[in-house]
Amino acid sequence: MPSTREHVLPAGFAGIGIVGSLIATVTALGYEEPTPVQRETIPVMLAGRDLLAQAATGTGKTAAFALPLIQRLVEEPKGKHRTRGLVLVPTRELAMQVAETMHKYARGTALNVVPVYGGASMLQQTRALERGADIVVATPGRALDHLRRNTLKLDALAVLVLDEADEMLDMGFAEDIDTILKSTPTARQTTLFSATLPARILSIAQRHLKEPQRITVAREKTAAGKLPRVRQVAYLVHRAQKPDVLGRVLDVESPTSAIVFCRTRLDVDTLVERLNAHGYRAEALHGGMQQRQRDQVMARFRAEKSDLLVATDVAARGLDIKHLSHVVNYDLPASPDDYVHRIGRTGRAGREGTAITLADPREQRLLRSIEQVTKQKIEIAAVPTLSDLRARRLETTRAALREKLIAGDLDDVRGVVESLAAEYSVTDIAAAAVKLAHAAVVGDRPGKELKELPAAPAAPARTSGPARFSGGKRTVRPHGEAGPRREHVAAAGSERTRPTHGKDVNVVRLFIGAGRQAGIRPGDLVGAITGETGMSSKDLGAIEIADRFSLVDVPDAMADQIVDALKKTTLRGQKVPVRRSRESSTSST
């Protein structure tokens, strides 16, 4: 039977079997308590059992498999230059992220973590593997390339992890995964994580997992009417941009009091230092502080001596703050239910409240899960520009001046205006006064323009009929034995959306010099393009596969990047020519 969060589980990482050296490492990184998925899965992995785990994106899955994997390899040394841990992930971005996280966890051990993904030098990866890779984090396509070249050897593999398995299948990696799994020892331990468990995932589990422990981290039911009615806004930004974006958003929103939630206490301390250096009044609150310090922080916050409370979930539990205008999710919480709990701290007693979330672009699935649970829409907004900020600051000044005009009591300064009026126009005098008032009201922080900020995606508009880039189920239209066949390939169960900004999307066709005779399938092309470029399978259009060549419709803006990426990789183990087709480009309407 699936496990649930209602189980009574021991507290802390020590209570679920993690050894002291790893606890010291995660504590130094700022982690205080294991998340529900970590509490459920880590003891199973440490016991050596195969695991089939269903948990939503953003629930702490990386630590759930990384910590027991590292602990097992440290406790069971088998010699150098042998790969004993393999983590398969759907995209190169996730491969880099998981590898970086595992490297942090493995500090202090002799374990080497090597990422292997498309779009990077095969030679450099080969050298890294030859130097010795205890743990390899890889995309399926690139892992298969290394296996065929014999540069990745899995004969000593002890633990295999499939992370976001449903995403890998959506991207066409099913056969690659089967091939990789058949190249591993049968005695290995296998762990599969997936946000959903459709029949095809269960089929993989049945073929490759041995009596797995099945765990589902269930969502808690939220009672009707308990959801806060607040304005909910999300900004899609990469991790490195978050501090600057947070500052911009805070300047525009001008919260009277706000809690900013971070994932770890290290993040809390770093962010507080940065905010205070930029003129904000911020206080930290996390589990590394003594109770006396926490009480002092809360006393200053309630007395309005500080504007921002930067906290972890653990430290903020049980806080009673009556007047809170904003809640900011600097990091997305581990589950939709934690999100509901966080934003419920604002918008109380009939007051207006605002919940702001800074989400990495790859966390959009979790945002959708939150919307499904809350039955409320989260607006995806563009990051405010400097022009937006200036306009907002001027509006604040105008409102302050209006209040002063309404209040009156201006007799003591009228003489100044009258004396200046002999030399300057009244309009210029007023403008100068407004400028001085503006500097006094909002300060003189100039702000800086942010580089390479992603544009906010418009809300998807469902299409009612077939179009280019159509999604949903795969359809096949044969053209005879020797002719090409067209297959519309997209993420399973998805529906491609038209642009909502009023412009057509230019589409071009790419020629790929390999087809059915070389064993090329639609999944090979989808997997290669998405794995090498990081783009979504939903952005691919029609695919035609002939005997000796294939054609793929792609967005014109991405075409050159896709061509360059495919030229650097292999399809079915061979280099193939790739170029723009000589056919004219089209557009999605």
Question: Could you give all domains of the chain from N- to C-terminal order, each with its CATH number?
Answer: 14-216 (3.40.50.300), 231-384 (3.40.50.300), 387-442 (no CATH), 465-588 (3.30.70.330)
Interacting residues of 365 by C-beta distance below 8 A, sequence separation 6+: 56, 57, 195
Tell me the CB-side half-sphere exposure of residue 364, using CA atoms within 13 A: 14
**Rounded-to-integer distance, Cα 253 and Cα 352, Å:** 13
Three-state DSSP state, 357 = strand
Q: Which residues pair with 160 in a beta bridge?
A: 86, 190
CA distances from 246 to 19, 25, 92, 184 (A): 36, 28, 27, 46
**Rounded-to-integer distance, Cα 260 and Cα 275, Å:** 11
Burial class of residue 185 in the structure, from the number of CB atoms within 10 Å of its CB (0-12 exposed, 13-18 middle, 19+ buried): exposed
Q: Which residues pair with 542 in a beta bridge?
A: 488
Alpha helices (runs of H) in 60-164, residue ranges in sequence order: 61-75, 92-105, 122-131, 140-149
Interacting residues of 331 by C-beta distance below 8 A, sequence separation 6+: 261, 262, 263, 267, 358
Name the residue with tokens 């029609």: 542
Question: Do the beta carbons of residue 117 and residue 98 sit within 8 Å?
Answer: no
> Rounded to two decimals, what is the model's pTM?
0.51
Tell me the CB-side half-sphere exposure of residue 19, using CA atoms within 13 A: 15
Sequential pLDDT tens for the chain (589 residues): 333 333 333 458 888 999 999 999 988 887 778 888 899 999 999 999 999 998 765 567 889 999 999 999 998 876 666 899 999 998 877 888 889 889 999 988 889 999 998 878 889 999 999 988 999 999 999 999 999 999 999 999 999 999 988 888 877 888 899 999 999 999 999 999 988 888 888 988 998 999 999 998 765 444 444 455 688 999 999 888 899 899 889 988 888 889 999 988 888 999 999 998 888 889 998 877 877 888 788 888 888 888 899 998 766 765 667 678 899 999 988 777 778 878 877 866 556 789 999 998 888 888 888 888 878 889 999 888 877 777 777 777 777 777 777 777 787 888 888 888 888 888 888 888 877 876 765 555 555 555 544 443 433 333 333 222 223 333 333 333 333 333 333 333 222 233 333 344 678 888 898 888 787 877 778 878 877 777 777 778 888 887 788 888 888 888 888 888 888 887 877 788 888 876 534 444 3
Which amino acid, residue 123?
L
CA distances from 424 to 273, 416, 419, 430, 435 (A): 46, 12, 9, 10, 16
CA distances from 438 to 129, 178, 255, 407, 445 (A): 60, 65, 18, 18, 12
Question: What is the 8-class DSSP label of residue 255?
Answer: -
Name the residue with tokens 């539990």: 317
Three-state DSSP state, 241 = helix
Q: Which residues pair with 162 in a beta bridge?
A: 88, 192
- Nearest Cα to 515, choosing from 494, 539, 475, 487? 487
**φ, ψ dihedrals at 269, nearest 5°:** -60, -40
* DSSP structure string for 113-130: EEEE-TTS-HHHHHHHHH
Other C-beta atoms closer than 10 Å to the C-beta of 373 total: 19
**Rounded-to-integer distance, Cα 245 and Cα 237, Å:** 8
Beta strand spans in 28-134 (E): 51-54, 85-88, 113-116
Q: 385 is written with which tokens?
A: 């520009």
CA distances from 34 to 11, 24, 260, 341 (A): 8, 14, 21, 18
**Rounded-to-integer distance, Cα 138 and Cα 473, Å:** 28
Interacting residues of 35 by C-beta distance below 8 A, sequence separation 6+: 59, 60, 63, 64, 334
Q: 562 is written with which tokens?
A: 């896709």
Give the model's pLDDT for residue 148: 92
Question: What is the 8-class DSSP label of residue 154?
Answer: -
How far is C-alpha 566 from the chain's CA centre?
A: 25
Question: Do the beta carbons of residue 12 and residue 33 sit within 8 Å?
Answer: yes
Longest CA–CA span in the chain (Å) reads 95
Give the model's pLDDT for residue 350: 54
Dihedral (Cα; 416, 418, 422, 427), 10-degree rounding: 90
Question: Do the beta carbons of residue 402 and residue 446 sit within 8 Å?
Answer: no
**Rounded-to-integer distance, Cα 127 and Cα 151, Å:** 9
Name the residue with tokens 């056969």: 175
Q: Euclidean distance between the first and final Cα of the chain, in Å?
A: 48
Give the model's pLDDT for residue 335: 73
**Rounded-to-integer distance, Cα 175 and Cα 169, Å:** 9
